Amino acid sequence: MTEAPDDRPSDDRSVDNGAGQGDRSVVADSSAATITVVVVEPASKGNVGTIARAMRNFGFADLKLVSPPEIEPGDDAYGFAGHAREDVLPNHDVVTFEDVIERFHTIGFTAHAGEDDRRHVRYPFTSPADLAESLARGLANDRATDGATAATRTEGGADADAAGVGAADPDPNPDLPADTERFDAPIALVFGREDTGLSNDELARVDEICSIPASADYPVLNLGQAATIALYELRELADPPSQHAPRTHATAEATEGLYEQLDALLEAIDHPAEKRAKAGRLFRRVFGRARLTGREAATLRGVARRATELVKDRS
């Protein structure tokens, strides 16, 4: 990869994509986070399979490859893909980097980010976790804006449309950043070559830069690892069902019952009256942070009740 004099070399596992120019007439459905994964000139079929598997793991389906090796059933790509060999991998598209630039809002990944705005090719940058939060806010704001506009048109009819009503409507979510222009095109995460990542020229064309925090001594990640980490952090945008059952929490009535029983225990053991209120607050803080399940609250309440009864029986 050819490096600009003021930029560090991009890492071989970094993800880079270009976008922000050209015709973006293909627009993502704003009701869902449509995220495409793009891999530029991958050399290893195994890495392609690993990325496809990570996509399947975290609810993503659209894989696009730029100048990939020929991928056929039975090769390493299929061997590493797991169940993604049934859908994500065989459904991949081969595209050009120019296609990606013209059609997508692109987010490039690199291990070597710029230290300040003097190295603007790789700066500013965000982490995958912060990127997920930023995209979620922007997409939510975009959906809310679309909903408000639709409601205005429904109420105002054709006359309102003709008069431009809705164009200057107040932001329905004023606390969210006014960056919905970012989402006038589908979102693409672009990963680079195994040995050199994306070139500075390619990085210069992307809309955003993302870098995975890692050890300063060795920040370079394997391509498959980098993609897996990024997709994990962004998984909630795809909203896939998890294998984990939702955790249930104790009801307000259950936790209040526990606190009342603990108050009774404090009284039974003759805890100093002037200290009981403070002890009660500490119980609330500790168990509030723990976010007890219903079973946990019931068990603790039962233990406190039994302790209270034993104290009273012995007094």
Question: How sure is the predictor about 111, in pLDDT bands with cuts at 50, 70 and 90?
Answer: confident
- Per DSSP, the residues of 223-276 read HHHHHHHHHHHTHHHH-PPPSSPPPP---HHHHHHHHHHHHHHHHHTT--HHHH
Which carries the bigger pLDDT value, residue 1 or residue 142? Answer: 142
The mean pLDDT of the chain is 78
What is the rounded distance in angstroms from the CA atom of residue 116 to the CA atom of residue 107? 19
3-state secondary structure of 9: coil
- pLDDT at residue number 248: 84
- pLDDT at residue number 178: 39
pTM over 0.75, yes/no: no
Q: In this structure, what DSSP letter does residue 38 have?
A: E
Q: Mean per-residue pLDDT for 235-258? A: 83
The residue ranges of every structural domain in the chain are 35-238, 252-314
Most confident of 106-120, 140-154, 186-200: 186-200
What is the rounded distance in angstroms from the CA atom of residue 230 to the CA atom of residue 36? 12
> Which CATH architecture group holds 35-238?
3-Layer(aba) Sandwich (3.40)
Whether a cis peptide bond, with omega within 30° of 0, leads into 5 is: no
Other C-beta atoms closer than 10 Å to the C-beta of 297 total 22
For 94, list phi and psi in degrees, rounded to 5: -100, 125
Distances (CA, A) of 235 to 31, 232, 255: 16, 5, 32
Q: Mean per-residue pLDDT for 61-68? A: 97
Q: Mean per-residue pLDDT for 70-88? A: 96
Which carries the bigger pLDDT value, residue 246 or residue 234? Answer: 234
- pLDDT at residue number 124: 56
Q: With a cut of 60, say whether residue 71 has pLDDT above it.
A: yes
Which carries the bigger pLDDT value, residue 291 or residue 120? Answer: 291
Question: How sure is the predictor about 6, in pLDDT bands with cuts at 50, 70 and 90?
Answer: very low
Which carries the bigger pLDDT value, residue 237 or residue 98? Answer: 98
Q: With a cut of 60, say whether residue 211 has pLDDT above it.
A: yes
Amino acid in the structure at residue 218: Y
For 290, list phi and psi in degrees, rounded to 5: -75, -20
Q: Mean per-residue pLDDT for 248-276? A: 94
